[in-house]
Every structure is written in structure tokens, then in C-alpha cells.
């Protein structure tokens, strides 16, 4: 069996739960935050550092690894685990998000999570489609796209996506899907959903026909945009197939995300794990855990870390700001990471003043230390959520944390 999932304790009156997910390369204690190593590397950090921060699992990107260095090359090195020197559980996404980022979102500041709710604004966004060339084109059977590296033409089908992921060798892989823009109208969302469902069946059929079915778990992805009817339809369809677990894909309006997650998790089989794709802000993590999400992934902690936006127990700060140039204190006095080192345990390793200097001087070490801190902060925040479920005080922990987190 490719994985085993068991629920230790449920959150009373809610969908949340604490569980254990066993994979061929180790155990994941859920809920858990999945560190993103897009190109087989968590940016600015070594695998040893990632592990020391408390990470149990890393997710890599199928699209990027397919283009460089190539899935067959990774396979020739013994698979992704050996290639990147990560001995723990690994996940790979399907490449479906690149359908969105290279297609409708290409050349525009458009995210799969949006605050746009005004229909006139959505129409304005869609009107830009004819003005900006796309690198990806969606067809009935797959997606044709041009490499962002050299412009070469490629065609990915559900079967091809699974074939690539089999070659990479991650413990958990995802069915090929279409992630739509939040600005698309319901007619297109419905068309895309039918494609995603057909592709899910094809992904599953191909996976089951290959020997990897016994060593790699396949998750199906629920889509449906902001629409309750489509989300529930997708959860029922994908949940009825023989997947080992499920991904909950974008797109959402920010204010609708909680409803969309709840709609889906009230329907998906309780005994299988659920992964909310691309979500990582603290308030959204609390929302997801409360509504039955077991796994999260997001590039935000390391991306923010490289840019100087750092998490603290009182909210995010921009460490580049002049106010920190003379600050001898730790980044976060309540944080136990190697960057902060709580003063109660031997003093400050790196002061706010030093971190401010590194970023303002454009020293690479700044991005590494910032990424270490942010990743530790988010990983261990979710660990604390898990423990609060086991201890029976999740809602109190959530209220206390968010009250202080501005």
C-alpha cells in the first residue's frame, strides 16, 4: 500500500482532525505544512536545514523538473529523493497550476486567490486575455505550452503528467487538473471542471496500470472555483473515485475560501487525507485546519523570507525598515528557531539590527536566515495547531494567536 492514514483525534463540532500519514519514506503528523522545493530545492536552504526546522515533507514542481533537468535524468539518479538528498516524504504537483500561470494569468498580476468580487472588475480582467499572449493553451485532452526557458513546444496530457511524476518518484503525486482564474464566469468554470474530471479519470487509470501504483499514492484534485454547486459536484465526483487522498485546488475569492473548503470537506471521504494547495498565511491555515484540511503547501514563507518580510507572533514586519537598524533584540522573542534563539535559552543569535543590515546590504545570508525563520514559524505554527487538537483547546489557541497577530 502506497500510504496509510489514521485519525488520532477529531475537533469537536468541527471538521478538523489530527492524524498520522504513513508513506514509504516516513511519517507525516497531520495537520502539517509542506515545504515547497519547486526545482528540487527549498530556495536558499539545504535539505539538512529544512529538516532541522521541523519539516516532515517537501513538495516539488512537476512542470519545472520536466523542463530542467528532465524527469528521466532525475530517474537515472535513483529518483528525486536521492537527486536532491531528501530522505523524508516527497510530493509532486501535477503541473496543472502552470496551465493557469502560463495561460490566463500570463503577463498579468492575477493570482488564483483574489479579493475581486465585483463582476465588472472580473469582466475587465477577462478583457485583457486578447491583449496578452499566452504560453499555454488548453485543449480537450491536455495542454500545449511553450517552455519559459527556451520557447520549445510541449504537450502534457493526464497520462504524460503521471508518467513524469512516476519517473520523479515522489511518495504522493497529483492527478492532472485545470486551475482556473477566479475571474472566469460560471460557464467556463463548469467547462473546466468537466475537463478536470475527465483528466482525473485518465490520470487514475494510467496510474493503476503501472507498477508505481504500489509505491506512490495518487491524489485527485477538487476544483470548481467560487461556485458552491460546482465545488460540491467536484467533491462528489472526485471523492467517488479510487484516489488515495485529495487536493483542494484554487481558485477562490479570499473571502469565499472558508466556505469553499468546508463545502468540499463535508463531502470528501473522511478516512482519506486532504491537501489544500498553495495556501500558507497563518489565518488561512487556522481556517483550513478547523475545516478538515490535513496538509498545506505554499511558497510564501521562503519567498517572503528572501524579500525581507518576516513573520512574528505579533504579525509580519519588513526587516529592511530603518526602525530596525539599532534594534538589538531578536526577530521574535517567542520564537525558538536558530535565527531568534529565545533569550531565555542563551541569548540572541541574530539581532534585528544585523538582519536589517544583511537585507539592506543585499547579502545572500539575509535571505537564508529570513527563509529559515519564516519556514520554522509556519511549520511549527501548524504543529501547535495539531497539538491543540490533541489537547482539546484548538479554538482557544486560534483566538489567542490571531488576537495578537496583526
CATH of residue 138's domain is 3.20.20.105
Q: Indicate the pLDDT class of residue 134, thresholds 50, 70 and 90.
A: low
pLDDT level of residue 79 (50, 70, 90 thresholds): very high
Which residue in the block uniquely carries the three cell numbers 530556495?
Answer: 43
Q: Is 93 a catalytic residue?
A: yes
Are residues 189 and 106 located together in one domain of the fold?
yes
Half-sphere CA count of 265, side-chain side, radius 13 A: 26
Residue 284 lies in a domain: no
- Percent of the chain having pLDDT more than 70? 89
Looking at the predicted structure, is the pLDDT value of residue 14 above 60? yes
Looking at the structure, tell me whether residues 205 and 333 fall in a common domain. no
Q: Which helix (H) or strand (E) holds 236?
A: helix 228-239
253 and 324: one domain?
no
pLDDT at 401 over 90: yes
CA angle 370, 372, 376 (to 5 degrees): 120
Q: Is residue 123 part of a domain?
A: yes
Q: Is the pLDDT of residue 50 over 90?
A: yes
- For residue 20, being part of any structural domain is answered with no
Residue % of the chain over a pLDDT of 90: 79
Q: What does the pLDDT average to over 72-101?
A: 90
**333: buried, middle or exposed (CB in 10 Å: 19+, 13-18, 0-12)?**
middle
Alpha-carbon radius of gyration of the chain:
21
Q: Per the domain annotation, does 17 fall within a domain?
A: no
Of 93, 171, 177, 332, which one is the catalytic site residue? 93
Q: Is 312 in the same domain as 252? A: no
Which position has the grid cell 501547535?
384
3-state helix, strand, coil in the chain (%, to 5): 45, 20, 40
Quick one: average pLDDT of 172-201?
Answer: 92
pLDDT in tens, 228-277: 999 999 999 999 999 999 999 977 777 889 999 999 999 999 999 999 99
Active-site hit among 171, 284, 294, 297? 297
pLDDT attached to residue 101: 58
Q: Per residue in 318-338, pLDDT tens? A: 999 999 999 999 999 999 999
Local confidence band at 146 (pLDDT 50, 70, 90 cut-offs): confident
Task: Let me know if 171 is a catalytic residue.
Answer: no
Q: What mean pLDDT is reported for the chain?
A: 91
* pLDDT mean over 387-393: 98
Query: Residue 406 has what pLDDT?
Result: 77
> For residue 258, what are the domain limits?
61-269
Contacts 24+ apart (CB under 8 A), 115-119: 115/253, 115/254, 115/255, 116/182, 116/183, 116/253, 117/253, 117/255
- Pull the grid cell for residue 339: 535565527
Q: 343 falls in which pLDDT band (50, 70, 90)?
A: low
The answer as to whether 44 is a domain residue is: no
pLDDT at 116: 53
Q: What is the pLDDT of residue 308?
A: 98
With 50 as the cut, is the pLDDT of residue 106 above it?
Answer: no
Please check whether residue 300 lies inside any domain of the structure.
no
The pLDDT score that the predictor gives to residue 108 is 42
Number of domains in the chain: 2
Whether the predicted pLDDT of 125 surpasses 80: no
**Same structural domain, 205 and 251:** yes
Statement to judge: residues 309 and 391 lie in one domain:
yes
Query: Is there a domain that residue 24 lies in?
Result: no
Examine the pLDDT at 52 and tell me if it is beyond 90: yes
Q: Residue 48: pLDDT band by 50, 70, 90 thresholds? A: very high
E strand segments, 161-264: 172-174, 217-222, 245-248, 252-253
Q: Are 272 and 244 in contact (CB under 8 A)?
A: yes
Alpha carbon of 128 to those of 6, 105, 113, 131: distances in Å?
A: 47, 10, 18, 5
Which domain-ending residue is among 248, 269, 290? 269
Reported as a single tens digit per residue, the pLDDT across 53-63 is 999 999 999 99
pLDDT average, residue stretch 83-96: 94
Residue 126 has pLDDT above 50, yes or no: no
For residues 239 and 159, state if they share a domain.
Answer: yes
Same domain, yes or no: 326 and 262: no
Domain check: are 263 and 332 in the same one? no
Amino acid at each position: 500500500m502506497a500510504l496509510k492514514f489514521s485519525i488520532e483525534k477529531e475537533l469537536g463540532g468541527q471538521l478538523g482532525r489530527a492524524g498520522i500519514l504513513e508513506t514509504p519514506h516516513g511519517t507525516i503528523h497531520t495537520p502539517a505544512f509542506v515545504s515547497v522545493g519547486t526545482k528540487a530545492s527549498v530556495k536558499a536552504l539545504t535539505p539538512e536545514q529544512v529538516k532541522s526546522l521541523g519539516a516532515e515533507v517537501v513538495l516539488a514542481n512537476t512542470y519545472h523538473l520536466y523542463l530542467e533537468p528532465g524527469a528521466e535524468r532525475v530517474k537515472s539518479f535513483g529518483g528525486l529523493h536521492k537527486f536532491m538528498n531528501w530522505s523524508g516524504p516527497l510530493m509532486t504537483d501535477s503541473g496543472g497550476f502552470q496551465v493557469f500561470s502560463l495561460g490566463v494569468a500570463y503577463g498579468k498580476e492575477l493570482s488564483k486567490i483574489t479579493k475581486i468580487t465585483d463582476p465588472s472588475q472580473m469582466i475587465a480582467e477577462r478583457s485583457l486575455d486578447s491583449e496578452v499572449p499566452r504560453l499555454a493553451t488548453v485543449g480537450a485532452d491536455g495542454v500545449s505550452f511553450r517552455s519559459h526557458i527556451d520557447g520549445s513546444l510541449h504537450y502534457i496530457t493526464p497520462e504524460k503528467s503521471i508518467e513524469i511524476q512516476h519517473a520523479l518518484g515522489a511518495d504522493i503525486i497529483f492527478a492532472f487538473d485545470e486551475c482556473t482564474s477566479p475571474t472566469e464566469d460560471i460557464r467556463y468554470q463548469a467547462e473546466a471542471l468537466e475537463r478536470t474530471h475527465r483528466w482525473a479519470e485518465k490520470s487514475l487509470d494510467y496510474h493503476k496500470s503501472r507498477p508505481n501504483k504500489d509505491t506512490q499514492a495518487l491524489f485527485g484534485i477538487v476544483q470548481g472555483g467560487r461556485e458552491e454547486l460546482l465545488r460540491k459536484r467536484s467533491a462528489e465526483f472526485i471523492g467517488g473515485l479510487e484516489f488515495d487522498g485529495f487536493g483542494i485546488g484554487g481558485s477562490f475569492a479570499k473571502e469565499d475560501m472558508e466556505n469553499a473548503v468546508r463545502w468540499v470537506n463535508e463531502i470528501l471521504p473522511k478516512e482519506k487525507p486532504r491537501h489544500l494547495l498553495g495556501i500558507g498565511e497563518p489565518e488561512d491555515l487556522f481556517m483550513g485546519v478547523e475545516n478538515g484540511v490535513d496538509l498545506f503547501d505554499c511558497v510564501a514563507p521562503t519567498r517572503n523570507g528572501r524579500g525581507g518580510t518576516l513573520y512574528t507572533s505579533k504579525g509580519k514586519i519588513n526587516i529592511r525598515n530603518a526602525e530596525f537598524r539599532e534594534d538589538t533584540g531578536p526577530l521574535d522573542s517567542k520564537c525558538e528557531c536558530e535565527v531568534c534563539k529565545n533569550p531565555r535559552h542563551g541569548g540572541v543569535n541574530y539581532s534585528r539590527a544585523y538582519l536589517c543590515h544583511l537585507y539592506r546590504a543585499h547579502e545572500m545570508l539575509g535571505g537564508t536566515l529570513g527563509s529559515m525563520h519564516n519556514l520554522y514559524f509556519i511549520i511549527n505554527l501548524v504543529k501547535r495547531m495539531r497539538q491543540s487538537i490533541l489537547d482539546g483547546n484548538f479554538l482557544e489557541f486560534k483566538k489567542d494567536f490571531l488576537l495578537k497577530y496583526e
